[in-house]
Amino acid sequence: MGLLFIVSGIVSLTTIRFMYKSSLQASLVSRRAALRSTLGFAGAAMVLNRTRRGYAFTSANDRPRIAAIGTGSRWCQRATGLDRPYGSAPDFTKYGDYIAVCDADSSRRQMAGDLVKQWHGHEASQQADYRAILDNADVDIVHISTPDHWHAKIAIEAMLAGKDVYCEKPMTLTIDEGRRICDVCEKTGRIVQIGTQQRSSRQFIQAIALIRAGRLGKLKKATCSIGGAPTSPEIPVANVPQSLDWNQWQGPVTDTNYRYKAGPNGETQSWSRCHYEFRWWYEYSGGKLTDWGAHHVDIATWGLDKTATGPVSVTPVKVVHPVEFKDGYPLDPSRYNTATQFQILSTFADGVEIEIRHDGGNGILFEGTEGRIFVNRGRITGEPVEQLASSPLPEGAMEQAYKNRSLVDHFRNFFEGVRDRKEPISDVFSHHRALSTCHLSGIAARLNRKLTWDPEKQQIIGDAMAQNLVARDYRNGFEIES
């Protein structure tokens, strides 16, 4: 292990590093040329410094080197008004070392640099352009915590640059992006974990193990209660903060005005089209359907054993939007536009259903012919759970549900996957299928009509307008490099 085998022989680490030592201006051309010549064996290839490092996560020489792209609230709540570590970035430091940070906002970039100095005792390279991260041969892992509309582009280009990836949920903004990520992951053999950390939480694994053991009988339905989305007042056009590169923040999406209104709202104490509040604009996200939906629909899809397929129909039973829509697009650019209330039913070929609701207690209700269980981040309840006292699960049942791996936290599962070159618990393929149900729900909500979906071809049938929303156009200069 730890060697890069090529038909013509073994390439040394020095040679590999030399290949990447070009200027940033010329780097994209050289990287693309190198990638085209190596993709044929990339799935089986293991670069020396990407397989030996991180084996024990303790020795300085064994710890993977991480670069962060996007350094907002997943790094520290200082970015949203509170001065304390928060989210995944602090937990990453148990297993690897950050050596570079990148953000379109220089204040957040500097904050992350200061945190790296506190955590690791060394300075981190600070970059405004994520391509400098991908061109850095010293980077083993890319941690993506940008807004959703950047995820696919960075993840794909990172894999093609030979990096392993941890991407915060949701993985994509569109279904088409998910297909592209799956194709590149399969082609390159990179290890990619999605930040749906519920997959590594004990009560959710126990729910899956109970289902796999037949304790619910034949499954009929999973109901995902994910909460509604907020509304906003009219948000005026405002001057872009001096620290923010608004053009870079927007990236692949259509250029539009920066909007901001200070007030007692959420983590940022404001309403805006930007930091944190991007979640409530279809231009950048899918609203609650892909925010909490990415978590709960993922667990529902996993539990129902639908991770290799999708629904055949998606029906919006109830949808409320805060602005008027025409042909699936909002007409008011000054207010949040994602659905605030919804009840959307996805039906699979065998009649099994996933329902996504804005109301009810946050969590997932699984229903079968022999029982039902409710699970969320605080509890797991139901008669099959109570029966565990007298009829426990077989030894190793939870580990078997967890892809036959030892139960560990979500971040360690990723780093162990990088070390062992094994697929992590939240892989891109199953996440794509679950998130496709969320995206289809969003399309059905935007058009307010039932959709017919072909899960094999991954196409909407008989509705050209809806099919148009399966993909998106990219702004000139921000197309995905693949």
pLDDT digit string (tens) for 283-297?
999 999 999 999 999
**Residue range 190-244, pLDDT digits in tens:** 999 999 999 999 999 999 999 999 999 999 999 999 999 999 999 999 999 999 9
Instruction: Flag whether the pTM goes above 0.85.
Output: yes
Q: Is the pLDDT of residue 468 over 90?
A: yes
pLDDT of residue 256: 98
In whole angstroms, give the CA distance from residue 159 to residue 188.
Answer: 7
Helices 428-447, 175-188: inter-axial angle, 10-degree rounding: 170
What is the residue-averaged pLDDT of the chain? 89
Amino acid symbol at 203: Q
Q: Is the pLDDT of residue 23 over 60?
A: no
Paired tokens of 84: 């304390």
In whole angstroms, give the CA distance from residue 261 to residue 177.
Answer: 32
Closest by CA position to 222, among listed 342, 368, 340, 339: 368
For 57-201, where are the alpha helices, taking DSSP H only?
88-92, 106-120, 130-134, 148-160, 175-188
Amino acid symbol at 478: F
**Among 169, 197, 225, residue at a domain's last position:** 197
pLDDT of residue 315: 98
Q: What is the dihedral of CA 78, 84, 89, 94, to 10 degrees?
A: 160
Mean pLDDT of 151-169: 98
The sign of the dihedral angle between the CA atoms of 148, 150, 153, 157 is: negative
Mean pLDDT of 366-373: 98
Mean pLDDT of 259-273: 94
Q: pLDDT above 90 covers what percent of the chain?
A: 82
CATH of the domain at 80: 3.40.50.720
Q: Assess whether 217 and 205 both reside in one domain.
A: yes
In whole angstroms, give the CA distance from residue 198 to residue 170.
Answer: 13
Q: Assess whether 120 and 44 both reside in one domain.
A: yes
Closest by CA position to 181, among listed 400, 436, 9: 436
In whole angstroms, give the CA distance from residue 291 to residue 148.
Answer: 10
Strands (E), 169-308: 192-194, 219-225, 260-262, 270-272
Distances (CA, A) of 274 to 59, 79, 237, 270, 481: 39, 13, 12, 10, 25
Q: What is the dihedral of CA 133, 137, 143, 148, to 10 degrees?
A: 50
**Among 197, 218, 241, residue at a domain's last position:** 197
CATH of the domain at 355: 3.30.360.10
pLDDT of residue 60: 67
**Residue range 294-330, pLDDT digits in tens:** 999 999 999 999 999 999 999 999 999 999 999 999 9
**Among 174, 197, 220, residue at a domain's last position:** 197
Query: The domain containing residue 442 runs over which residues?
Result: 198-419+427-482
Token pair 């085998």: residue: 5
Q: Assess whether 292 and 311 both reside in one domain.
A: yes
The sign of the dihedral angle between the CA atoms of 108, 111, 115, 116 is: positive
In whole angstroms, give the CA distance from residue 425 to residue 410.
Answer: 8
The count of structural domains within the chain is 2
Name 197's Cβ contacts closer than 8 Å, sequence gap at least 6: 88, 409, 410, 426
Q: Assess whether 134 and 257 both reside in one domain.
A: no
Q: Assess whether 174 and 203 both reside in one domain.
A: no
The length of the chain is 482
Mean pLDDT of 362-388: 98
Q: Is the pLDDT of residue 368 over 90?
A: yes
Q: Assess whether 185 and 227 both reside in one domain.
A: no
Q: Assess whether 332 and 454 both reside in one domain.
A: yes
The model's confidence at residue 45, banded by pLDDT at 50, 70 and 90, is very low
Q: Assess whether 263 and 330 both reside in one domain.
A: yes
Are residues 323 and 339 in contact, defined by beta-carbon separation less than 8 angstroms? Answer: no
In Å, how far from its chain's centre is CA 317?
Answer: 27
Q: Assess whether 268 and 361 both reside in one domain.
A: yes
Mean pLDDT of 77-83: 56
In whole angstroms, give the CA distance from residue 40 to residue 17.
Answer: 20
Mean pLDDT of 344-352: 98
Q: Assess whether 160 and 241 both reside in one domain.
A: no
